[in-house]
Chain A
């Protein structure tokens, strides 16, 4: 019932809600077109834009430098200009999920490549995403996995892989920890370089999630991707991302999506199901715009860009520093974005970005803080 596709009504309010949630807002042209096309076609286009997204992203990639403030600025600019805003939203979603921050990684190239890997798989297959993650030096550095010697398997890192990145706290056994750590032995990050040292890898049999084999990190990614516990966590996190940060959904709501997601691992399909649903359209103003969503949303609605180097710093002060989530747990989101200080900064930023321009909403209103 919950996930039944929404058909009617379809008006300006519904279309604006859809674009706010998944595309940082819509400009007047996009909104008119959405009204003419109806929900099914509009959602399809948000998921698979007709434009050459790959070419756009190649161009943006070429602009990126190895300075963190500049990387941050280029990403914001990419969000403002991209023909595929949902892809950037999902890249940001996974950035929060993995919580990889430059303060631990301390290597701009690794950070740049990490976000690019997230973008490459953000709406793709979960096993491919995890496959990239288990060979991503930024992840190793951020999650305390720089060293994985065979003589002393890194159980701290294994615990992060299990508790933070995959099945979640309470969903794994001590055996999963020891054997995941063993699966990662021989994979190190040393002196700013990725090292795969086969002689330091424990090639013996391991049992992870109840399955035994001579597992490697790639095998861990494959096995973890299929775990129902991970599917449930992802569905819950996406529910928070797209539907509501206020209501904790019941298992009955989560279970049907988690089951099909665990079977096909198709992130894009999962997101599509959520966006088409009745519950999606029945839950307006149930999320707080993140600082990035707030700023990029105004720019996309107006169809303008602003200097993103200072904007990146300003958003960091409002609690969302791109390339630097606070901890491995990512950004808590929801009400945590709004406190007695940030509401002042957010309101000032929004009114300043809108300026004297014609705008469909009052940027100083409390309603404007929500999506």
Chain B
């Protein structure tokens, strides 16, 4: 499916007078137009302080400086609550626009940053020779029939992560929306050189896309003043422009100091990151909802691992195992999905996973993007109940 929604509307305008509202609703239901936004939380996010088991003695006992109490958390139910910095996320959650898949991980994580990040991003844990990332694989698949198509983009500032390694497809990095703006390119007659015709045709579509992106970006959005929110604003504009993008990839944390890898002094830094995350995502969803696009978008977080239950004596936590995956979007089954990990049955000091991250991927590939998940993951994984049917 290479047609964009605009192509379809343009075509259908000649075919029959279908009200555009109907067209939009009908197409939004099809996986061919759904967009996936991936947010990489670099460094290993402390899931226990995101979805907090505030009544659990094990939690209270092991978290001396980082413990969040019943008074502080944003209560989800009588056992769990979100981090107090996630007020905007809680609002989305209460509006039915967000969900959390709990206890996500995989067997035999090395718990080293590059190795675990590679595992999540290739979706082939342990295979150090696997050449491509899962997003890159999808890019190759989606552009196989039309090499001019650009189904995936990276929103910077961020260098290409392993996830975006493709064999053939060139995945663009979008720094600012103006990068996409080009002078108009008029169609030409066939030249007799099919390669030249290909370049011409690609230029014509690119300049059409450029105009659509300019138009989409002309509206001001209400976003917090953070780099992450700016990236999401660009993402929203690209989605609004409807230029055939299927996956947008962003990052939060930077994987260095100030990121999610909080071995020391975690409290304030983690809170700041979660505030940026929640504020950015909520602004993004609000923006999309104004245009009736929320139902077409799914945002999913990935992080290489969670963190240990016990603090490490430096007011921080160490590399762990399972963590929650955060989802936002207009077609999610809202709420918590899967049980909170049992803190009495730890995996080497950290919450144990009950859901493989590839199950989450498989669900998103099949149900959201309409792709054959074993072709990407190498095997069939049981799906998770993520979406409203």
Instruction: Identify the A interface with B (CB < 8 A).
Output: 103, 144, 156, 245-246, 285-288, 317-319, 326-329, 332, 335-345, 347-348, 364, 366-367, 369-370
A336 & B170 in contact (Cβ 8 Å cutoff): yes
7 further A-B pairs in the complex, CB-CB below 8 A; given A103-B165, A339-B149: A327-B131, A332-B167, A336-B169, A338-B147, A338-B148, A339-B148, A341-B150
B170 & A318 in contact (Cβ 8 Å cutoff): yes
B165 & A339 in contact (Cβ 8 Å cutoff): no
A335 & B165 in contact (Cβ 8 Å cutoff): no
A327 & B206 in contact (Cβ 8 Å cutoff): no
A335 & B172 in contact (Cβ 8 Å cutoff): no
Instruction: Select the residue from A318, A343, A367 with max chain B CB neighbours within 10 A.
Output: A343
Q: Which residues of B contact A343 (CB under 8 A)?
A: 199, 202-203, 206
Closest to B243 in A: A340
Q: Which residues of B contact A335 (CB under 8 A)?
A: 147-148, 195, 198
B170 & A337 in contact (Cβ 8 Å cutoff): yes
Question: Could you tell me the distance between the alpha carbons of A332 and B147 in the complex, rounded to whole angstroms?
Answer: 11
A339 & B195 in contact (Cβ 8 Å cutoff): no
B143 proximal to A (CB < 8 A): yes
Instruction: Select the residue from A328, A329, A340 with max chain B CB neighbours within 10 A.
Output: A340
* Count of CB-CB pairs between chains A and B under 8 Å: 99
A344 & B196 in contact (Cβ 8 Å cutoff): no
Number of interface residues of B (CB under 8 A): 40
Q: Which residues of B contact A317 (CB under 8 A)?
A: 172-173
Question: Could you tell me the distance between the alpha carbons of A285 and B168 in the complex, rounded to whole angstroms?
Answer: 21
* Residues 234-292 of B contacting A (Cβ, < 8 Å): 243-244
Question: Could you tell me the distance between the alpha carbons of A104 and B243 in the complex, rounded to whole angstroms?
Answer: 34
Q: Which residues of B contact A144 (CB under 8 A)?
A: 128-129
A340 & B202 in contact (Cβ 8 Å cutoff): yes
Can you list 26 contacts pairing A with B, beta carbon distance less than 8 Å?
A246-B194, A246-B195, A285-B193, A285-B195, A287-B195, A288-B195, A326-B167, A327-B131, A327-B132, A338-B148, A339-B149, A339-B170, A340-B148, A340-B150, A340-B205, A341-B150, A341-B206, A343-B202, A344-B180, A344-B210, A347-B203, A364-B183, A366-B188, A366-B196, A366-B200, A367-B196
Q: Is the interface of B mostly helix, strand, loop or mixed?
A: loop
Q: Which residues of B contact A338 (CB under 8 A)?
A: 147-148, 198-199, 202
| Given A288-B195, A335-B198, A366-B200, A342:B182 Cβ within 8 A | no
The answer, among A285, A345, A348, for a CB contact under 8 Å with B196, is A285
* Residues 173-188 of B contacting A (Cβ, < 8 Å): 173, 179-180, 182-183, 188
Q: Which residues of B contact A341 (CB under 8 A)?
A: 150, 153, 170, 172, 180, 206
B209 proximal to A (CB < 8 A): yes
| Given A326-B165, A327-B132, A342:B172 Cβ within 8 A | yes
B322 proximal to A (CB < 8 A): no
CB-CB nearest 3 A-B residue pairs: A319-B170, A341-B172, A327-B131
B309 proximal to A (CB < 8 A): no
Closest to A330 in B: B167
Q: Which residues of A contact B209 (CB under 8 A)?
A: 340
Q: Which residues of B contact A342 (CB under 8 A)?
A: 170, 172
B297 proximal to A (CB < 8 A): no
A339 & B131 in contact (Cβ 8 Å cutoff): no
Question: Could you tell me the distance between the alpha carbons of A317 and B243 in the complex, rounded to whole angstroms?
Answer: 20
* Residues 200-217 of B contacting A (Cβ, < 8 Å): 200, 202-203, 205-206, 209-210
Q: Which residues of A contact B243 (CB under 8 A)?
A: 340
Question: Could you tell me the distance between the alpha carbons of A245 and B170 in the complex, rounded to whole angstroms?
Answer: 18
Q: Which residues of A contact B150 (CB under 8 A)?
A: 339-341
B166 proximal to A (CB < 8 A): yes
Question: Could you tell me the distance between the alpha carbons of A338 and B200 in the complex, rounded to whole angstroms?
Answer: 10
Question: Could you tell me the distance between the alpha carbons of A165 and B132 in the complex, rounded to whole angstroms?
Answer: 19
Question: Could you tell me the distance between the alpha carbons of A256 and B302 in the complex, rounded to whole angstroms?
Answer: 54
Question: Could you tell me the distance between the alpha carbons of A319 and B200 in the complex, rounded to whole angstroms?
Answer: 20
What distance in Å separates the Cβ of A100 from its nearest Cβ neighbour in chain B?
13
Q: Which residues of B contact A327 (CB under 8 A)?
A: 131-132, 165, 167
* Residues 50-84 of B contacting A (Cβ, < 8 Å): none
What distance in Å separates the Cβ of B189 from its nearest Cβ neighbour in chain A?
13
Question: Could you tell me the distance between the alpha carbons of A317 and B167 in the complex, rounded to whole angstroms?
Answer: 15
The answer, among B128, B172, B194, for a CB contact under 8 Å with A345, is B172
Q: Which residues of A contact B162 (CB under 8 A)?
A: 103
